[in-house]
Structure 1
């Protein structure tokens, strides 16, 4: 399995190098400009894997996702599950769910590319995103509200003053 992960990582790094070329050309720069700005042939890359097995009752077992953030690096390549709609990006003041496209990567431009916004005239922006696993909420019915629980207090407890 380690060999397969290493090969996958190598291919993703190749993809990132190609994307850096495209981004450089899109900005009217030399093809290798961004790659050189990120360290040339010694550019660093890391592989992080987040796997959440199927949970039939995510609310019951308190499953967590990944809280809102932007990625600190240059480019993030995500390989989503085609049937899981957990990734959300912030657009204006709302969260928008990203629908995975089968056999496709999701490319997030990260903070280091945004820091070049003077160079790119803000063409590239780091996107705040989060990953939701169990976006379900259980609330009282709006028209009923919450009722006092009769008998919930023992004779040793006093009521909270309103």
Structure 2
């Protein structure tokens, strides 16, 4: 099973431990600076992983992780990106600001597939890309949306991805 579809994670050095949070949140996939940060960790392994940050973090050597913690430019970029991520996740959203009385609302979005990112191959075409775009927009707006679909891996499985902040 691709690493992006597991709950496995490795323990990272304390200085960069938030990379785990970032790798398991699809926010990285539409943030160019986050993508560059993961790529800078090891461009070859980044390509080999299919641009999958979860797999990348699992495959990096401990010595490489230590070196990254000592790299001033990397650490500055890491701190800046984590700060942006935290602002996105914790900032007031349009939905919260416009509809505070609707905090109890939960919306289910059913689709056969979701095209979020190339590292999460759970789509085959247009419908999946459209569903992924709807989910990203819902996330940006803070709409409490849960995507429910099918995960095809030799047999039918259920996949659920939540998009509320």
Shorter-chain TM-score range: under 0.3
Question: What is the TM-score normalised by the length of structure 2?
Answer: 0.23
Greater share of residues in helix: 2
